[in-house]
Amino acid sequence: MKHKILIAGFAIASLFTSCSDDYLEAPAKSSIDEALIFSTAELAQGAVDGIKIPFAETNSYRGRFLPFYGLNTDVEWYNSSQTVSDASDLCTYDAKSINSQMNTDTNAWAMMFSGIERANVCIRGIRKYGNPTPGTQLGYLLGEALTLRAIYYADLVKAWGDVPARFVPIDGTTLYIPKSSRDVIYKQLIADLGEASTLVPWPNETTATSSVERINKAFVKGFRARLAMAASGFQQYPDGIRRSTDPELSVANMYALALQESRSVISSGTAHLESSFETFWRKYNQEYLGAGGESLWEIPFAEGRGRMLFTFAVRHTTNDQFHANGANRGGSAGPLPFVFYDYDQADTRRDVTCVPYKYGTAVNNIAKQELGALNTWYFGKYRYEWMTRFVTSTNDDGVNKIYMRYAEVLLIAAEAANELEGPAAAAPYLKEIRNRAFTAANRAVKVENYVNTLATKEAMFNALVEENKFEFTGEMERKQALIRWNLLKTKLDAAKVKMTNLSQRSGEYADVPATLYYKYKADNVSLDIYGLNRGENAVPAGYTSFAWTWTGAATDTKINTLYKPGVNPDQRQFWPIWQVFIDGSNGQLKNDYGY
């Protein structure tokens, strides 16, 4: 059963209000004395659970941040990128501060700071009144609060760069503060997660850590490793694209920390890859919440809240046998069209990740799969048809957002080990990822031989960039990775060339068939498709032909708007701070980077 977030038993006033021009307002006094709340584990848990509430607010992660952040990359795009709209601007690196999707005082920026303020109150209260030591419930709650605050801040920095640093509750003297360097914030988060890792147990070590909806040590350490890599990576600062100049955030220091933390998770044995890629994603859609597997932590949405399938699932044209979530659900984004053809044909991740069909209009409540066009694909990791719960909400599906999984820990370990110790040290982690991707019959060539030929740091790094692509397409983690590798524009430009070549069946895509053949399987719903694989050019008996064409000119608007023409994505790595928050900041906030 999905975890129910309890509303705290005291009032923490909203940081942003629609009836005020103030950027921040001081929180109201608690309706119950803080000393009682934070010295009593049961009451303190209600308060810490309250930190999670802003994740699911209408214009927060649920309806604004998750549907848009992380698109467009060299593997993922907003399927309406060519349409002129404020929604597409968020994805095509051309968002303005007055963007109508975002420029409200209930937006994700506001909700993230609301979550941070809730966390600050809890952290202060538990430290002051709770005696939070390792092995105690109050110790665990402090670790959970520190980690939840780090999640909000990590996403703020990821989306906006430098932001105000607020690590204590607001008072009358701190209503208005300017932005701080993200270096300061990263160092605080890394320190906080170091403390949290001493306070929270490993997965399944306690009742609290038996669910992926609660914080556990494997996630904390993996998340700390992720932030270490990000903090030391390339990124756009107000003075240009560079790595941090803070010696504490050097590559040597941060990669060593990332390697230490990822190896700690790996050696603990408290997390593991699922037996197959499809098994993992089926369990995700079935809302399996047990800790100790591949999912390390998930943003918890109630059954009637959250829009992961609503937004990203294989498209369903109408209500049908799989859901009653409304018309045209899923399919707002998908893989770039060439991604399917970049996978090794034997890679079991390919057909899970890239889906070329949608579900058509239901007849007598039964919908069938229908082929679309070469340039419109869907993410197969998200499927109503794999759920065990029938969704009836018209606006939400309630499926959680996977925030981090064990595969990322392995690839962080590989990248850090390659940098510090060389490719031989990275090889075992890459092999573990690829062993799951290929069947036993293919592993000698596709795993052992492939990895063993990566004899230089450069070759191993390039292979890891590709492996991240094949493992994580559709999870919207790629954008931050491309930024920290200083590959964002380079890879986007390469993707435009790839799409042009695919649309023309030229270059590396010259052997992609121009005709598909299909028939329905015994269930009279699922397609049996021939011709998707390179070289499948025969005409099979009993199949119907289907022109597998790119809908649009070879250099069409959709390709050109992977990022907006005239825009340099390396100079638009972040969203602007929305005008409503600048106007209400008493002159303290501004947009940098030439926005």
Show me where the domains of the chain are located.
Answer: 1-60+106-200
How far apart are the C-alpha atoms of 563 and 88, rounded to whole Å? 10
Other beta carbons within 10 angstroms of residue 198's beta carbon come to: 12
Structure tokens that stand for 504 in this block: 């023309």
State residue 556's pLDDT score: 82
Among 159, 296, 126, 156, CA closest to 223: 296
Other beta carbons within 10 angstroms of residue 204's beta carbon come to: 15
SS3 category, 38: coil
Angle formed at CA 360 by CA 359 and CA 361, multiple of 5 degrees: 130
Per the CB < 8 A criterion, the answer to whether 540 and 563 are in contact is: no
Mean pLDDT, residues 485-489 taken together: 98
CATH of 1-60+106-200, one of 3.30.200.190, 1.25.40.890, 3.90.1150.10, 1.10.240.10: 1.25.40.890
How far apart are the C-alpha atoms of 98 and 100, rounded to whole Å? 6
Per the CB < 8 A criterion, the answer to whether 143 and 196 are in contact is: yes
Cβ neighbors of 260 (< 8 A, separation 6 or more) are none
Q: How far is CA 565 from CA 82, 89, 93, 559, 560, in A?
A: 11, 11, 10, 10, 7
Confidence of residue 25 (pLDDT cuts 50, 70, 90): very low
How far apart are the C-alpha atoms of 340 and 336, rounded to whole Å? 8
State residue 555's pLDDT score: 53
Give the pLDDT confidence of 50-82 residue by residue, as tens digits. Answer: 999 999 999 999 999 999 999 999 999 999 999
Among 394, 427, 392, CA closest to 411: 427
State residue 19's pLDDT score: 31
State residue 6's pLDDT score: 36
Query: Residue 524, by phi and psi: left (phi above 0), alpha (psi -120 to 50) or beta?
Result: left
**End-to-end Cα, the chain, rounded Å:** 45
Cβ neighbors of 224 (< 8 A, separation 6 or more) are 190, 193, 194, 197, 257, 258, 261
Other beta carbons within 10 angstroms of residue 85's beta carbon come to: 15
Give the pLDDT confidence of 328-377 residue by residue, as tens digits. Answer: 999 999 999 999 999 999 999 999 999 999 999 999 999 999 999 999 99
Per the CB < 8 A criterion, the answer to whether 182 and 157 are in contact is: yes
Which helix (H) or strand (E) is 359 found in, with range? strand 357-359
Residue 449: what are its φ and ψ, rounded to 5°? -65, -45
Query: Residue 326, by phi and psi: left (phi above 0), alpha (psi -120 to 50) or beta?
Result: left
Q: What is the DSSP letter of 327?
A: S
Ranges of H-type helices in 11-162: 34-37, 41-50, 66-68, 86-91, 108-129, 137-160
* Residue 31 burial class via C-beta count within 10 angstroms: exposed 0-12, middle 13-18, buried 19 and up: exposed
Residue 545: what are its φ and ψ, rounded to 5°? -80, 155
Other beta carbons within 10 angstroms of residue 238's beta carbon come to: 12
Per the CB < 8 A criterion, the answer to whether 481 and 535 are in contact is: no
Confidence of residue 5 (pLDDT cuts 50, 70, 90): very low
Question: Does the pLDDT at position 411 exceed 60?
Answer: yes
What percentage of the chain carries pLDDT values higher than 90?
A: 92
Q: What is the DSSP pairing of strand 515-520 with strand 378-379?
A: unpaired
Per the CB < 8 A criterion, the answer to whether 246 and 183 are in contact is: yes
SS3 category, 559: helix
3-state secondary structure 478-536: HHHHHHHCCCHHHHHHHHHHHHHHHHHCCHHHCCCCCEEEEEECCCCCCEEEECCCCCC
Mean pLDDT, residues 168-183 taken together: 95
Q: How far is residue 29 CA from its own chain's centroid?
A: 35
State residue 326's pLDDT score: 97
Question: Does the pLDDT at position 18 exceed 50?
Answer: no
The owner of tokens 């695919």 is 502
Average confidence score pLDDT of the chain: 94
Question: Does the pLDDT at position 21 exceed 60?
Answer: no
Per the CB < 8 A criterion, the answer to whether 168 and 241 are in contact is: no
Can you list the positions of beta strands (E) in 406-452? none
Question: Does the pLDDT at position 97 exceed 50?
Answer: yes
Structure tokens that stand for 514 in this block: 């121009």
SS3 category, 294: coil
Q: What helix, strand, coil percent values describe the chain, rounded to 5? A: 45, 10, 45
Report the b/e string of 39-73 with b at 16+ CB within 10 A: bbeebbbbbbbbbbbbbbbebbbbbbbbbbbbbbb
Question: Does the pLDDT at position 8 exceed 80?
Answer: no
Confidence of residue 13 (pLDDT cuts 50, 70, 90): very low
Give the pLDDT confidence of 212-241 residue by residue, as tens digits. Answer: 999 999 999 999 999 999 999 999 999 999
Maximum CA extent, the chain: 77
Torsion of CA 164, 170, 175, 176, to 10 degrees: -10
Question: Does the pLDDT at position 10 exceed 60?
Answer: no
Residue 467: what are its φ and ψ, rounded to 5°? -65, -40
